């Protein structure tokens, strides 16, 4: 995986918690040296830890309801001149101004050093904004140039937003949403913003981030991800069990009216394993929450999508219809529902007593 740092700078906002007073804002004017090992390690470290424990990502896009602030517009200007240092600096200043303004309205927020970076990861361009603290292995000099980057514990850094610029330009070019078409994935933002943490919420609000993963898309992505992840040779034997466990969880959350959580999905899927369960659970959770799969931290389960992926429904010329859960199917005559491929017939075992009585009464009536 190739990582190329293009530009980076660090500014700062000084503010005490439980106040609305901004003590100082420092905007640097000189970009950090991208060939500095400490600078590179810092940007790579922050990027690499997004989506890891403590930094589970939500996916979305910039808002467009006239409450998103100035950052989305400034970002659009920046994308049209990606190779211009001054455009990068202007966007970083906009980020500082918007964050300071929002922080002044949120007593629980605190200041810190604001890392702004542009880089390529596997040749794809990204833009990152993250609030970092000068502790836990991060040492900055008077010009905010990193001097030492040891093993940094970023699990407590709950303020970061990353833009996939390729996806951004692609989505912008799609035009208005076609309400009649299948729900499209129009996300290009990944951000850390705990719903229960006001100090994190102000950060994503200041940058105009809004959640944009449709529940139908998130539900579909989960089910598809189980099939892909558990197709690995060492996990394939558990694929059906993992899929059934995840579907059971999604069904429970739907009936309870509670959002599904990516951590719980991974736990349920890993529950079918006997060995190395914790390692596989964490690997699967990271995969679910990755840029590739984009299952958000939490989402409402979409009933229609869940039913489409878990039920089989058939009807023949209006004379009969049948609908059943896919997990009820088996390849044995003793299965709850057995399909004979040669006869193209279905056998239902364990028919409820009341249904059996109704069927028998109908047949008896025909014989008299």
Closest CA to 269 of 302, 229, 219: 229
- 8 Å CB contact between 337 and 349: yes
Backbone CA torsion sign across 264, 266, 270, 275: negative
Q: Can you give the pLDDT of all 368 residues of the chain as single tens digits? A: 689 999 999 999 988 778 888 888 999 999 999 999 889 988 988 888 787 776 788 898 998 777 778 999 999 999 999 999 999 999 999 999 999 998 888 887 777 889 999 999 999 999 999 988 755 556 788 888 887 665 555 554 568 899 999 999 999 888 766 654 555 688 999 988 545 455 567 888 899 988 777 888 899 999 999 999 999 999 999 998 999 899 999 999 999 999 999 999 999 999 999 876 889 999 999 999 999 999 988 999 999 899 887 767 777 667 777 766 666 677 778 877 888 888 888 888 888 888 888 888 877 787 76
| CA distance readout (Å), 161 to 9, 45, 71, 127 | 15, 14, 12, 8
Classify burial at 231, counting beta carbons within 10 Å of its beta carbon; exposed 0-12, middle 13-18, buried 19 or more: exposed
Question: What pLDDT, on a 0 to 100 scale, did the predictor assign at position 136?
Answer: 54
Pairing of strands 58-62, 189-192: antiparallel
CA 58 – CA 347 distance, rounded (Å): 44
Q: For residue 25, how many other CB atoms are within 10 A of its CB?
A: 18
Rg of the Cα trace of the chain?
26
**CA 307 to centroid of chain Cα atoms:** 22
């Amino acid at each position: 995986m190739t990582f190329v740092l293009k530009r980076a700078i660090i500014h700062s906002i000084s503010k005490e918690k439980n106040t609305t007073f901004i003590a100082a804002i420092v905007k640097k004017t000189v970009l950090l040296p991208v060939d500095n090992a400490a600078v590179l390690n810092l940007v790579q470290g922050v990027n690499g830890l997004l989506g890891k424990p403590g930094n589970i990502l939500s996916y979305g896009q910039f808002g467009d309801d006239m409450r998103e602030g100035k950052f989305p517009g400034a970002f659009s200007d920046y994308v049209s001149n990606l190779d211009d240092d001054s455009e990068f600096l202007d966007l970083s200043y906009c980020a500082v101004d918007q964050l300071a303004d929002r922080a002044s309205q949120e007593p629980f927020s605190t200041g810190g050093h604001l890392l702004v970076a542009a880089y390529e990861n596997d040749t794809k361009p990204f833009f990152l904004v993250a609030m970092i603290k000068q502790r836990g292995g991060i040492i900055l000099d008077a010009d905010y140039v990193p001097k030492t980057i040891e093993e940094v514990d970023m699990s407590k850094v709950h303020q970061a937003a990353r833009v996939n610029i390729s996806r951004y330009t692609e989505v912008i070019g799609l035009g208005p949403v076609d309400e009649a078409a299948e729900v499209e994935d129009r996300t290009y933002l990944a951000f850390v913003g705990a719903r229960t943490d006001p100090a994190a919420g102000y950060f994503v609000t200041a940058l105009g981030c809004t959640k944009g993963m449709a529940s139908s898309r998130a539900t579909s992505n989960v089910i598809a991800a189980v099939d892909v992840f558990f197709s690995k040779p060492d996990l394939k034997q558990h694929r059906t069990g993992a899929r059934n466990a995840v579907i059971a969880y999604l069904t429970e959350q739907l009936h309870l009216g509670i959002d599904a959580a990516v951590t719980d999905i991974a736990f349920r899927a890993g529950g079918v394993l006997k060995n190395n369960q914790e390692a596989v659970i964490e690997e699967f959770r990271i995969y679910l929450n990755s840029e590739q799969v984009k299952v958000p931290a939490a989402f409402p389960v979409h009933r229609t999508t869940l039913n489409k992926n878990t039920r089989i429904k058939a009807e023949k010329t209006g004379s009969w219809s049948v609908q059943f859960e896919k997990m009820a199917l088996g390849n044995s005559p003793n299965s709850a529902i057995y399909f004979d491929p040669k006869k193209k017939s279905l056998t239902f075992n364990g028919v409820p007593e009341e249904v059996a009585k109704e069927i028998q009464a109908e047949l008896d009536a025909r014989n008299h």
